[in-house]
Chain A
Amino acid sequence: MFRLLSFVLLFVMSVSVAQAKEKLQMGLSVDVVPVGSDFAGQDIVVFGAIESADQAELYRGEYDVLIEVIGDLQEAIVRKKDRISGIWVNAAAREYRDVPSFYSLHSRNPIEDVVDPSVLSSLGIGIKYLKAKPVDRGNIEEFLTQGEFSSALRRKRIENLLFSERADSVDQISPSLFRAAVSLPPNVPIGFHTVKAHLFKDGKKLDEVTQTFEVRKVGFEEWIYNLAHEQSLLYGILCVLLAIFTGWFANVVFRKN
């Protein structure tokens, strides 16, 4: 009897604890995005579930999931041209550290409708609130909207499809299940990318989960790249031999005509 009671108690407790602590679960359709000779971008699917949520609130759609895909943090140099004796020359430059090589944000609704800008800003979610460290400012993080150089960096990345935001790419399959199609452009940087899903309710963040996937050259492309970097002398010689063979072959073929 006492045992049964303790079970019931435990159950009630766990439910009430779960009520207060909604959790996110997430999976990716791939671990590796292979970059082969025919690579022209790829779509990956992020799917997941909101667990231990209040059913009524789930059905009313009060939860929101934001999904970020973040590439490696890299250095970047921004240069500005200036006219020097009639010619446009790269003049001033600023160097940044910890710039994401890739960033895309996915949501079901425009993010600023879901979460207060001040919260987004403090969490660094969204292109507007991305930060980097200017090397000449002692590596203190600044937003990529401060100053013409960091704005230019942000703008260039957007133009090159490396920074993007989509407010219609997260689908709610059922009240607790979500699915997002993340399209990686053909120029998606090689390396590890982190997928970060945030769970929000009433503008407050409740949970976060992360997963990584790798964009990797495979097969012939991987072999060529590794050869060029690890055995560069051999690679150079092979390039020359290929050229000599092609030149010779052309000469032989067209001489007979």
Chain B
Amino acid sequence: MSIYLPIAELSVNIWILFGMGAAVGFLSGMFGVGGGFLMTPLLIFYNIPPAVAVATEANQIVASSFSGALAHLRKGTVDIKLGLLLLVGGIAGSTLGVYIFSELREIGQLDLIISLLYVVFLGAIGTLMTIESLRAIRKSKQNGGSVARRPGHSGFIHKLPLKVKFRKSKLVLSVIPVIALGMLVGILAAIMGVGGGFIMVPAMIYLLRVPTNVVIGTSLFQIIFVTAFTTIIQSTTNQTVDVVLAFILMVGGVIGAQFGAAAGHKLKGEQLRALLGLLVLGVCIRLGYDLVVTPDDLFSVIAAGEEGGH
């Protein structure tokens, strides 16, 4: 059954989109990530214009992160104070990101920058995650049990001024790295069409030393607001949010996430992280391959209205 997308201005198969939403939702439920880093490239492979894919994905992530954050709020695993501070940086970053997005679109390098950012960030995070989790798996095999990470106080991050106490995370931290991290993720979220959980979560664990139990809830909590804000800014600046596309993906996504979460409970934390790391690396290699290999067609055509505003 095909459906016409009013903003993307093309006719697509509703079940393929629904299936994509459900498949990515399954993985995101399983790994506790938003899945934007999988969905946006998938949409682009499916011929959705990158500008529409990125902006629409922000809208979809509002739904999946809200659904996830509600569960974490109920369990009490959200550090609201930390989340709000990250959000301050996030809003600023997102504004800047949408502006950069429009500029890149104007000069015709948006697709390239999106691909490059994906390759760089997915490559780095995928590699780190895979190595770290393989190490953990090896250790847990030696010890016969899972390892408890004791975050130590290291690096300059914990020597910065303007320290604030985060009761829920049992941390005393400077606001500078928190806002900076929020801002970096906000910029990336706007340009790449992701929630940024895949950067936020490891950064919170390894840089800020936030306890793992509040990391995902807090990250989801702030992602709701950053992606909601990005959706509104993309709507007003670029008019590229396709609500029909977003809704199909949302419905597929939230359903898939339920099954994914159930599947995720059957695996150990480090096994999940290893699988996620490999998945991230896979997407990275796929996108990187497209950048290096000689394209079938060197030419591309952009009609008026598809680019550079109106």
Chain A residues within 8 Å of B, Cβ to Cβ: 35-41, 74-83, 86-90, 93, 99, 101, 148-149, 152-153, 155-157, 186-187, 189-190, 217, 220-222, 224-225, 228-229, 232-233, 235-240, 242-244, 246-248, 250-251, 254-255, 257
Contact = CB atoms under 8 A, between A and B. Distances in A.
B247 A242 contact: yes
Contact of B301 (A39, A83, A157, A233): A157
A152 B301 contact: yes
B11 A186 contact: yes
B232 A233 contact: yes
A77 B108 contact: yes
A90 B104 CA distance: 12
B234 interface: yes
A99 B96 CA distance: 34
Contacts of A239: 59, 231-232, 235, 241, 243, 246
Main secondary structure of the interface of B (DSSP, over half): helix
Contact of B67 (A152, A153, A186, A250): A250
B62 A93 contact: no
Contact of A243 (B108, B236, B250, B307): B250
Given A40-B11, A77-B301, A243-B60, A35 B295 contact: no
A99 B234 CA distance: 29
Contact of B299 (A37, A89, A152): A152
B63 A247 contact: yes
Interface stretch (B1-9, B130-138, B157-165): B1-9
Given A152-B301, A156-B297, A243-B66, 5 more contacts: A78-B299, A87-B292, A239-B241, A243-B250, A246-B63
Given A236-B232, A243-B246, A153 B10 contact: no
Contact of A237 (B232, B297, B301): B232
A70 B258 CA distance: 50
Interface of B: 2-4, 6-7, 9-11, 59-60, 62-68, 70-71, 108-109, 111-112, 116, 224, 228, 231-236, 239, 241, 243-244, 246-247, 250-251, 254-255, 257-258, 291-292, 294-295, 297-305, 307, 310
A186 B6 contact: no
Given A81-B295, A232-B239, A240 B250 contact: no
Nearest to B308: A77
A180 B247 CA distance: 39
B301 A251 contact: no
A82 B10 CA distance: 29
B295 A242 contact: no
Given A217-B6, A240-B62, A246-B254, A76 B235 contact: no
A78 B116 CA distance: 22
Given A236-B232, A248-B67, A156 B302 contact: no
B2 A40 contact: yes
A251 B62 contact: no
- Specify which of B67, B116, B295 lies most central, judged by the most chain A CB atoms within 10 Å of its CB: B67
Listed from nearest, the 7 A-B pairs whose CB atoms lie closest are: A236-B235, A247-B66, A250-B254, A236-B232, A152-B299, A243-B62, A247-B67
A251 B70 contact: yes
A75 B62 CA distance: 35
A36 to B, nearest CB: 7
Given A38-B2, A251-B70, A187 B11 contact: yes
A93 B308 CA distance: 14
Contacts of A82: 298
A247 B254 contact: yes
A236 B231 contact: yes
Contact of B63 (A89, A243, A255): A243
A205 B65 CA distance: 65
B112 A251 contact: no
Given A37-B3, A38-B2, A88-B294, A244 B63 contact: yes
A38 B3 contact: yes
B109 A90 contact: yes
B230 to A, nearest CB: 10
B300 A224 contact: no
A76 B301 contact: yes
Given A186-B10, A228-B239, A243-B60, A86 B292 contact: yes
B231 A190 contact: no
A93 B235 CA distance: 28
Contacts of A36: 4
A119 to B, nearest CB: 29
7 contacts: A79-B108, A81-B298, A152-B297, A235-B241, A236-B233, A247-B68, A250-B255
Given A81-B295, A90-B108, A239-B241, A228 B301 contact: no
B302 A232 contact: no
B228 A225 contact: no
Contacts of B71: 251, 255
Contacts of B299: 78-81, 148-149, 152-153, 155-156
